């Protein structure tokens, strides 16, 4: 596929190359990590949000997650920190829309307090989400530029 | 300090979707995917929304950020400011009243947060005022007082001690005040209208913003306590005049008093995270928020927050913002949602009533999510004991769990000791635990068929049956759900 470039707002900047894991469904953080939060799984992070057909059952650990925005319980931020401390958090969170206040809180706390950086870029736009597919190569740059393809 | 690792390993993929459904699952009553979070910014965006933003800080705030009051408080300031910058917050504002924290689950995954706050406590930091906290997830005295439950609890909540101890050190020493309904008189966390606070707990945020007229965003668990240590929060969203405007008019046209839980559920599904302006219900409530109607607002509001992500609603002629500004709160181009008898029936019909993997008949009644007010426990005690006496029974068919803060229970014991005696005989047990945690706790909730008058509990768990008050009383007494309930 032809390479496409998108520009977002880097909230926690960084450079990274890898493969995308994309969903058009909002990321319900707490609901997605239930096996890690409540089930004792410390090896993988299978998505337990059964409503999210694109991600249900897929391993979220170490992924570059591409999604519209975060939703769900106010425990979402703490959940992200929790899976991060297990080494099972995402490497990057790429929001097509504006960040939600819950998930980004966990990312910022982890970044400032623990110096644990999950690259976080928001407002990449609907076209970004229409373009990116799971498995696509993706390049993230510190200025918030994201290249797909 | 580090948490002990639990050894439980379960097949949660089959189980997910049945427990731990959280607020704002982003699907409507028909299962359609919905996006929410449309009303985030404190003001209409100007200029480039992708441009870096730095809110102005006072010299004192900058000094804190620069570490002049210690490394820990500097980090707290950096987090709070970064979070505010993400939402183009105008500035930091001083907080009043008292904080309310939703950090209540002493589970391993919370250890990074607990560790952070323990370091803050070690550095001598404290909340700006004594604060309230959500209830614990369990009650080893009144409910979970058996070996099987205790095993589950001590494995699942392995770091509860660490969490509770952190709260004590930071300014929440009294577990008798633990409640999600921190605003009831007996708990007493109800600042005056217009007070800036940084609360967490979706139902408390919802009630505080709406019925009390407070100004708080729907904070992530942890962020509320960081703001409490700082005594400040970034000004954006629901804390601003602009962010408190309504984009939805909800016109209630039922022929009699609505089912408050169903109404709240319907509103949440429809408006998601917008601020609804609700008309047509003041005739059932009176002229102001009071101890006689707060439980109805609590029931409706918590349902809007659990089926959607509503952090603020306005009720015409009742809630503080609406009394002050009336329909001027409606933004140009607002949408209208009519809730009539037909719509009520439609939404109610989406509630499941068939639970093949549960016991055939109800096993327990759960009343108090969010936690009961004094009026509610007095009413329920009266209703159930009178219903038993009327039928000439010694006991009801199933036990009732009445969830409230200990101080609310204590008031009933003091003012109505004879009734409390009858309630105890009628298997009505008070508990200060969290309904949601109890109803959904894996490894013992599977044997339970819970009936509840809480739309919030029902919205979280498809396996709890929602009933209106009268059929719920009948179900408690007879053990059978009445036909057509």
Higher pLDDT pick, B126 / A41 = B126
Cβ-defined contact of A30 to B82 (cutoff 8 Å): no
Residue A101 near chain B (CB below 8 Å): yes
Cβ-defined contact of B113 to A109 (cutoff 8 Å): yes
Token pair of B78 as six digits = 């950096």
Tens digit of each residue's pLDDT (9 = 90 or more) over B278-327: 999 999 999 999 999 999 999 999 999 988 889 999 999 999 999 999 99
| Nearest-angstrom CA–CA distance, B315 and B280 | 9
The pLDDT-based confidence of A77 (bands split at 50, 70, 90) is very high
Nearest CA in chain A to B20: A31
Q: What pLDDT does A148 receive?
A: 98
Residue A145 near chain B (CB below 8 Å): no
Which residues are CB-contacts of B187 (< 8 A; sequence separation ≥ 6)?
B132, B177, B179, B181, B405, B407, B408
Cβ-defined contact of B16 to A71 (cutoff 8 Å): no
Which residues are CB-contacts of B421 (< 8 A; sequence separation ≥ 6)?
none
* Beta bridge mates, B365: B400, B451
Q: What pLDDT does B32 receive?
A: 55
Higher pLDDT pick, A41 / B251 = B251
Q: Of B15, B17, B22, B24, whose CA–CA distance to B352 is shortest? A: B17
Residues of A in contact with B35 (CB under 8 A): 26, 68-69, 97
User: How many independent structural domains does chain A possess?
Assistant: 1
Q: What pLDDT does B272 receive?
A: 85
Which residues are CB-contacts of B379 (< 8 A; sequence separation ≥ 6)?
none
- Using DSSP's 3-state secondary structure scheme, residue B132 falls into strand
Q: What pLDDT does B461 receive?
A: 82
| Nearest-angstrom CA–CA distance, A68 and A70 | 7
**Distance from the B54 Cα atom to the nearest Cα atom in chain A, whole angstroms:** 12
Q: What pLDDT does B462 receive?
A: 79
Where would I find the H helices in B202-259?
A: 202-207, 223-230
Lowest-confidence pick of A16-25, B267-276, B314-323: B267-276
Q: What pLDDT does B276 receive?
A: 98
Higher pLDDT pick, A81 / B438 = A81
Cβ-defined contact of B12 to A8 (cutoff 8 Å): no
Cβ-defined contact of A81 to B20 (cutoff 8 Å): no
**Distance from the A116 Cα atom to the nearest Cα atom in chain B, whole angstroms:** 11
Query: Is residue B280 exposed (0-12), middle (13-18) or buried (19+ Cβ within 10 Å)?
Result: middle
Interface of A with B in 41-80 (CB under 8 A): 41-42, 46, 48-51, 56-57, 68-69, 71-79
Tens digit of each residue's pLDDT (9 = 90 or more) over B9-31: 444 444 444 443 444 455 554 55
**Residue of A56, A79, A101, A117 to mutate, interface with B, max B Cβ within 10 Å:** A101
Domains by residue range for chain B, with CATH? 59-239 (3.30.499), 245-350 (no CATH), 364-478 (3.30.499.10)
What CATH number did the domain enclosing A133 receive?
3.50.30.10
| B110: nearest CB among A35, A78, A144 | A78
Beta strands across the sheet bearing B330-339: B314-315, B276-279, B246-252, B330-339
Using the predicted structure, report yes or no on whether residue B240 has a pLDDT greater than 70.
yes
Full domain range(s) for residue A87:
4-148
Residues belonging to chain A: 149
Q: Of A34, A32, A41, whose CA–CA distance to A63 is shortest? A: A32
What is the average per-residue pLDDT within B352-372? Answer: 92
Are B98 and B151 in contact, with CB atoms under 8 Å apart?
Answer: no
Higher pLDDT pick, B447 / B70 = B70
Token pair of B219 as six digits = 């904070």
Using the predicted structure, report yes or no on whether residue B6 has a pLDDT greater than 70.
no
Higher pLDDT pick, B228 / B3 = B228
Cis peptide before B370 (omega within 30 of 0): yes
The pLDDT-based confidence of B436 (bands split at 50, 70, 90) is confident
**Residue of B22, B163, B199 to mutate, interface with A, max A Cβ within 10 Å:** B22
| Nearest-angstrom CA–CA distance, B421 and B417 | 6
| A31: nearest CB among B25, B82, B237 | B25
| A41: nearest CB among B9, B52, B112 | B9
pTM of the predicted model, to two decimals?
A: 0.93
* Beta bridge mates, B132: B100
Q: Which helix (H) or strand (E) holds A21?
A: strand A16-22
What is the average per-residue pLDDT within A114-133? Answer: 97
State the sign of the Cα–Cα–Cα–Cα dihedral B219, B221, B223, B225: positive
| Nearest-angstrom CA–CA distance, B264 and B305 | 8
- Using DSSP's 3-state secondary structure scheme, residue A3 falls into coil
Q: Which helix (H) or strand (E) holds A109?
A: helix A101-114
Query: Is residue B95 exposed (0-12), middle (13-18) or buried (19+ Cβ within 10 Å)?
Result: buried
Token pair of A95 as six digits = 């929001």
Cβ-defined contact of A113 to B116 (cutoff 8 Å): yes
**Highest mean predicted confidence (pLDDT) among A72-76, A119-123, B43-47:** A119-123
């Amino acid at each position: 596929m032809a390479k496409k470039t998108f520009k977002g707002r880097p909230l926690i900047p960084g450079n990274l190359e890898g493969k995308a894991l994309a969903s058009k469904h909002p990321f319900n953080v707490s609901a997605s990590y239930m096996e890690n939060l409540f089930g004792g799984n410390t090896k993988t992070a299978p998505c337990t949000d059964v409503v999210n057909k694109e991600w249900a059952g897929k391993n979220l650990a170490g992924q570059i997650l591409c999604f519209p925005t975060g939703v769900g319980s106010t425990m979402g931020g703490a959940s992200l920190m929790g899976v991060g401390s297990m080494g099972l958090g995402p490497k990057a969170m790429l929001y097509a829309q504006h960040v939600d206040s819950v998930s980004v809180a966990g990312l910022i706390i982890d970044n400032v307090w623990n110096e644990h950086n999950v690259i976080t870029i928001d407002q990449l736009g609907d076209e970004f989400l229409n373009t990116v597919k799971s498995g696509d190569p993706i390049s993230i740059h510190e200025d918030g530029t994201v290249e797909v393809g | 300090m580090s948490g002990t690792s639990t050894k439980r390993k379960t097949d949660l993929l089959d189980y997910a979707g049945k427990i731990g459904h959280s607020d704002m699952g982003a699907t409507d009553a028909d299962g359609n995917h919905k996006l929410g979070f449309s009303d985030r910014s404190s003001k209409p965006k100007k200029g480039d929304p992708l441009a870096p933003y730095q809110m102005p800080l006072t010299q004192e705030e900058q000094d804190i950020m620069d570490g002049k009051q210690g490394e820990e408080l500097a980090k707290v300031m950096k987090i709070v400011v970064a979070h505010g910058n993400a939402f183009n917050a105008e500035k930091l504002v001083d907080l009043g009243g008292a904080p309310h924290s939703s950090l209540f689950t002493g589970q391993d995954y919370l250890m990074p947060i607990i560790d952070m706050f323990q370091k803050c406590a070690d550095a001598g930091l404290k909340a700006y005022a004594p604060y309230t906290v959500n209830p614990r997830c369990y009650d080893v005295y009144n409910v979970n007082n058996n070996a099987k439950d205790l095993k589950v609890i001590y494995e699942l909540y392995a770091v509860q001690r660490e969490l509770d101890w952190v709260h004590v050190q930071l300014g929440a020493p009294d577990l008798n005040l633990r409640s999600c309904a921190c605003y009831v008189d007996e708990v007493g966390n109800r600042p005056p209208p217009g007070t800036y606070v940084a609360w967490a707990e979706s139902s408390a945020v919802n009630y505080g913003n709406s019925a009390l007229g407070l100004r708080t965003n729907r904070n992530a668990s942890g962020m509320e306590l960081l703001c409490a240590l700082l005594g400040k929060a970034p000004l954006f969203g629901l804390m601003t005049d602009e962010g408190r405007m309504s984009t939805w008019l909800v016109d209630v046209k039922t022929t009699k008093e609505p089912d408050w839980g169903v109404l709240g559920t319907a509103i949440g599904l429809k408006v998601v995270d917008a601020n609804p302006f609700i008309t047509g219900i003041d005739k059932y409530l009176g002229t102001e928020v009071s101890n006689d109607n707060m439980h109805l607002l609590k029931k409706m509001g918590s349902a809007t927050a659990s089926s959607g992500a509503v952090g603020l609603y306005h009720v015409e002629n009742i809630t503080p913002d609406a009394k002050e500004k009336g329909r001027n709160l409606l933004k140009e181009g607002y949408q209208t949602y009519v809730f009539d008898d037909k719509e009520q029936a439609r939404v109610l019909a989406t509630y499941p009533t068939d639970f093949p993997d549960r016991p055939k008949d109800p096993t327990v009644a759960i009343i108090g999510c969010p936690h009961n007010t004094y009026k509610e426990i007095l009413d329920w005690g009266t209703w159930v004991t009178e219903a038993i006496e009327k039928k000439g029974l010694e006991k009801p068919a199933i036990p009732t769990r009445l969830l409230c803060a200990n101080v609310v229970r204590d008031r009933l014991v003091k003012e109505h000791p004879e009734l409390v005696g009858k309630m105890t005989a009628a298997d009505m047990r008070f508990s200060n635990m969290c309904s949601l945690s109890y109803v959904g706790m894996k490894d013992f909730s599977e044997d339970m068929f819970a009936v509840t008058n809480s739309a919030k509990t029902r919205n979280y768990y498809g396996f709890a049956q929602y009933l209106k008050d009268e059929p719920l009383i009948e179900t408690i007494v007879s053990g059978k759900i009445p036909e057509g309930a």
